[in-house]
Structures are given as C-alpha cells and as structure tokens.
Amino acid sequence: GAVVSQHPSRVICKSGTSVKIECRSLDFQATTMFWYRQFPKKSLMLMATSNEGSKATYEQGVEKDKFLINHASLTLSTLTVTSAQPEDSSFYICSASFLAGVLGTDTQYFGPGTRLTVL
Amino acid sequence: EDQVTQSPEALRLQEGESSSLNCSYTVSGLRGLFWYRQDPGKGPEFLFTLYSAGEEKEKERLKATLTKKESFLHITAPKPEDSATYLCAVQARSTGFQKLVFGTGTRLLVSP
C-alpha cells in the first residue's frame, strides 16, 4: 500500500520550454502533496506544500511563477516548470501523505522522482 | 530552528558486519521521526516512524530506536543489497507538523 507514481521519470527539453510533471497517489487519497528538489549527493529540499483544491504554499526562495503547482484532486498533483532554464535541471520528487493512525501523524510516501535536464 | 544531523556521512561495511547510524535532532515539539532509504536515482522509501522516546521498530535486518535527542538505525548482519543512503527526518510543531526536516543522510556501502 501507499504507492506514489510520477510521470515522466526522465525528461530532456530545450531552454524556454515548459515541462509538466505528474504525481499520483495510486492506492490512497492524499490530503497533502509535497514537491521536493534534490541536487546530486544532497538531501531533499522542500519546494512547496499543496492541499487539494487550495493554492500551494511555497518555501522561501522558490519562485511561484517559475514552478506552478496544481492539486486538482486527492490523487493528483502537477508541477509545471515554466520557461525552463539549464539551472532548473535537477531531480524532482513528489510525496503524498494522509492522516493515519491514532496519533494522526502524516507519513509522507515518495514517488520515484523525475530527472529534468534542460539544454 | 529545527535541526537534524546524521552521522557518519558515509559508512563502509563488510557483509555481516553490524553497525549503527545516528540521527541527532533539535526540534520544538517532536511529532514524529522518520527513517527512509534512498537508492541512487530513486525517491526515498519509507522505513519507520517513531513517536516517543523508548520506542523501537524492526524490519528485517533494520531496527530503529528513539531517545529524546537522537535516533539510531541498527543494521544487523548487513547484505550488499542494504547499500543505500539512509535519511532521517522529523516532523515538529514549529513547522506545522506537516513538513519534514531532513538530515543530509548516511551513505552506506556494504561489500560482499
């Protein structure tokens, strides 16, 4: 249980194009979804948190107009990198959570990640 | 400010050589401490959640323990397939309980 998928797994694009990454929770309804970015040999950097039907909350320093997040349903969130530039090349990972257990702790389950390369 | 520190940064073991990874944390109002495993080019895989000091959880060769200041991930008789980066993260009151604050991870390499 608690499976999260991401599509595509790898994308290569030219500078200036927009790229959309999908994140789906396959066997549960996610109250919250998160988007992370990871640089080589570094830990995960949270970009934004989104709840279904609400605007995403972005972390400090993350450009809202560059990284558009839509959380259309309890099982789907999308991240669109607009006018992608080489410095946007990175590994993007989503996670999804739901309130579980007596203590109601939100365990985050992660997708497999998307490798974005901007030429 | 919430902080999570993992040590060692990297660890090389021989197959069967047991060891422990450390995760020290400083947070305001711990809600949960999480251990994840991450393979190269993949997303983190959930291993354990620990809620309170004294709690222990086990899964195959892995055992996670929690005190008021740190958590340990014990690996008993590791195999080469246990090679991965192990990430520790906390949820705390100061970040609204939803966000995870991650450590930088311990890269484990188990040689046959």
Task: Write the residue in B41, B49, B104 that is nearest to A43 by C-beta.
Answer: B104
Q: Say yes or no: B40 contacts chain A, CB-CB below 8 A.
A: no
At residue A51 the predicted structure's pLDDT band, cuts being 50, 70 and 90, is: confident
CA distance A113 to chain B (A): 5
| Mean pLDDT along residues B26-54 | 93
Q: Say yes or no: B72 contacts chain A, CB-CB below 8 A.
A: no
Looking at residue A100, its pLDDT comes to 58
Looking at residue B11, its pLDDT comes to 98
Task: Using the predicted structure, report yes or no on whether residue A41 has a pLDDT greater than 90.
Answer: no
Of A15-19, A34-38, B78-82, B91-95, the least confident:
B91-95
Q: Are B42 and A115 an interchain contact pair (Cβ–Cβ within 8 Å)?
A: no
Task: Using the predicted structure, report yes or no on whether residue A107 has a pLDDT greater than 90.
Answer: no
Q: Are A105 and B32 an interchain contact pair (Cβ–Cβ within 8 Å)?
A: yes
- For B48-87, b/e burial (b = at least 16 CB within 10 A) is bbbbeeeeeeeeeebbbbbeeebbbbebeebeeebbbbbb
pLDDT tens string A52-71:
878 899 999 999 999 999 98
Question: Using CB atoms within 10 A of its CB, is residue A25 exposed (0-12), middle (13-18) or buried (19+)?
Answer: buried
Looking at residue A102, its pLDDT comes to 47
Question: Using CB atoms within 10 A of its CB, is residue B96 exposed (0-12), middle (13-18) or buried (19+)?
Answer: exposed
Looking at residue A106, its pLDDT comes to 77
* CATH value of B3-96+99-103 in 3.30.70.1140, 3.65.10.10, 2.60.40.10, 2.30.30.100: 2.60.40.10
Question: Using CB atoms within 10 A of its CB, is residue A84 exposed (0-12), middle (13-18) or buried (19+)?
Answer: buried
Measured between CA atoms, the residue of chain A closest to residue B52 is A103
